[in-house]
Amino acid sequence: MKVLVNATPLLAPLTGIGQYIRHLFGAIERLSSVDLWMHYGLSVRKGFHEPPLYPSGRAGPARLNDLAKRFLPRYRRLRRMVERATFDYQSARIGAPVLYHEPNYVAMTRKGPLVLTVHDMSCFDLPESHPKERVELMQRDMPASIQRADHILVISEATRAALQRCFNVDSQCITTTYLAADSRFKPQSAQQIQAQMALLGLTAGGYVLCVGTLEPRKNLGTLFSAYTGLPASLRRRFPLVLAGIEGWKTHDLLRKVETLRDCATVHQLGYVPEVLMPALYAGAAAFCYPSRYEGFGLPALEAMACGVPVLTCNQTSLPEVVGDAGLMVDPDDVDSMRERLRSLLEDRVFAAELGMRGHIRAATFSWERCARQTISVYEQVLTNHQM
């Protein structure tokens, strides 16, 4: 079974879609039941390969893209045209029959069986939280991809419901494949992560952690309001640590970060190398994920896998992921968020119990299961095309 995958999101810092590609196709490769071909923008390679990353977290080709953006007008449109031309040329060389899996919403134009992954519908449900050009691209091109797809993978029941609400897709053409935390995410003692803590300038058990791209949908403003309302003594003991690249529409948010930094109660780490992420999670006293809209919410699950108590919001997919193994509040309820966070920081016995419940729940999610479900969809689509 030959499967062609658009893997260009691996060339950028790994956010949710990049992590999905990395872990899903790594798992599929280990199962050895699929002949994978990965498209990396200007080339197609047999088998799953992760592009080498520079210290900034960006793959080599992404650095060239940064330079091109500065000097070429209409760069994004030109890049898309080049990628499509390369995709058509390279995919023709693989030989038929080939199933094309597009893991990033909008498929390239190509004849043949197509499996499409839709992570969330936020560009339709919450367009004000995205850059204008992204919303325009999604609303212009995604409907055609939905119509062309033989089968659609979604990563939560919340995304399935949103997809059906927007496009009225037949339920039999949608499969939910939950994500999972990598096995690297596990409970670790302060002694085990001492070296990593020193590199990050942190103390194990001495901070509140939030992980994710800085952008409006992540609802960090509510977290800041809740956190600044904590007693000063708690904020000194447990500074707020932000890990993630700067996204879009962040001007007001970054001003609030500067205010908190002046009070020495926030550390903005920016991009954190993948090798340090398990220790960063495991060293947190509590993990806060105040997002108001998620397709899945992988950072919350990764924190749970590390045995760290999780405080998140009760919207979209997050209740599916966290269940009763974490604390959930309304994304606009500052008072509840403050009180739940305070309870985690002051009652360490309760926090430890919640962390253990989260660890147990996280173990019920599996990348191998996700891979096997995905392969089953491939087989179903190919069988239907041969009939």
DSSP three-state, residue 360 = helix
Residue 262 in this model has a pLDDT that exceeds 70: no
Residues 194-362: name the CATH superfamily: Glycogen Phosphorylase B; (3.40.50.2000)
* Burial of 53: CB neighbours in 10 Å, binned 0-12, 13-18, 19+: middle
Average the pLDDT over each of 117-126, 142-151, 177-186, 208-217 and give the range with the smallest value: 208-217
Q: For 2-180+366-386, give the CATH class.
A: alpha beta
Query: Can you tell me the mean pLDDT for 222-231?
Result: 93
Amino acid 246: pLDDT? 79
Domains 2-180+366-386 and 194-362 share a fold: yes
Question: Is a pLDDT exceeding 80 seen at residue 376?
Answer: yes
The percent helix, strand, coil of the chain (3-state, each to 5) is 50, 15, 35
Strand partners, 286: 208
pLDDT the model gives residue 26: 94
- What pLDDT was estimated at residue 54? 46
Tell me: cis bond preceding 299? Omega within 30 of 0 counts: no
Q: Which residues sit opposite 306 in a β-bridge?
A: none
Residue with tokens 């089953």: 376
Q: How many CB atoms lie within 10 A of CB 232?
A: 10
Map out the domains of the chain as residue ranges.
Answer: 2-180+366-386, 194-362
pLDDT at 309: 98
Q: Which two tokens stand for residue 377?
A: 């969809």
Distance CA 133, CA 139 (A): 10
Report pLDDT digits (tens) over 138-186: 999 999 999 999 999 999 999 999 999 999 999 999 999 999 999 999 9
Hey, is 50 helix, strand or coil?
coil
Lowest model confidence (mean pLDDT) among 16-25, 59-68, 205-214, 316-325: 59-68
Looking at per-residue pLDDT, the higher value among 156 and 217 belongs to 156
